[in-house]
């Protein structure tokens, strides 16, 4: 199980966005309205409308947030160059800027640029390997709203936010 300080850091941007929303909502609305706001976000990822998130729905929802947030903010369209790399990685690794990666770790084809595909592969691997299992408490392969809510509530109460 990860806390905000020990979880793989790529997801920090998505998580931080959700946590900031939780914090703002918590300050401005009663618990019932906070749950509704989180439920609305959850329902937005529930593409088949069955009330649970499959691994694919959770994955797609998180990666959509990555693409619309981190990638669009820090890239030059289809790639990152060395000047953008640190800003991009520091954005992904919000709390802890010592991410342990160098440009060449993500530039797998050695062309001097990190393509969207290279950055996405890095991000996808971390999400699939580290985060999705933490959300799925009972390990049934389905991410219920209660599991989703508990995961983000636990992170929002950590001392790292």
Instruction: Write the pLDDT tens digit of every residue in 54-85.
Output: 988 988 888 888 888 778 888 888 898 888 88
Neighbours of 88 (CB within 10 A): 19
Span 124-145, pLDDT tens digits: 876 776 677 788 889 898 999 9
pLDDT number for residue 98: 58
Q: Which DSSP string corresponds to 111-149?
A: SSSEEHHHHHHHHHHHIIIIIHHHH-TT-SSEEEHHHHH
Rg (CA), the chain: 16
- What distance lies between CA 31 and its chain's CA centroid? 23
pLDDT of amino acid 15: 56
Strands in 11-119 per DSSP E:
52-54, 79-80, 114-115
* Predicted local confidence at residue 28, as pLDDT: 60
Q: Cα(38)–Cα(23) distance, rounded to whole angstroms?
A: 12
Is it the case that residue 3 has pLDDT exceeding 60? no
Which of 30-44, 49-63, 90-104, 121-135 ranks highest by mean pLDDT?
49-63
> What pLDDT sits at residue 27?
54
pLDDT above 80: residue 5: no
3-state DSSP assignment of residue 53? strand
């Amino acid at each position: 199980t990860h806390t905000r300080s020990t979880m793989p850091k790529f997801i920090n941007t998505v998580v931080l966005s959700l946590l900031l929303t939780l914090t703002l909502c918590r300050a401005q609305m009663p618990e019932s309205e906070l749950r509704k706001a989180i439920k609305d976000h959850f329902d937005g990822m529930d593409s088949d409308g069955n009330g649970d998130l499959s691994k694919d729905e959770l994955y797609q929802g998180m990666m959509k947030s990555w693409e619309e947030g981190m990638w669009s903010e820090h890239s030059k369209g289809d790639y990152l160059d060395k000047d953008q790399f640190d800003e991009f990685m520091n954005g992904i690794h919000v709390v802890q800027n010592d991410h342990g990666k160098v440009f060449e770790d993500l530039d797998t084809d050695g062309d001097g640029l990190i393509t969207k595909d290279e950055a996405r592969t890095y991000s996808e691997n971390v999400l699939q390997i580290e985060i999705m299992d933490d959300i799925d408490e009972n390990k049934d392969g389905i991410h219920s709203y209660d599991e989703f809510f508990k995961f983000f509530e636990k992170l929002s109460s950590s001392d790292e936010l």
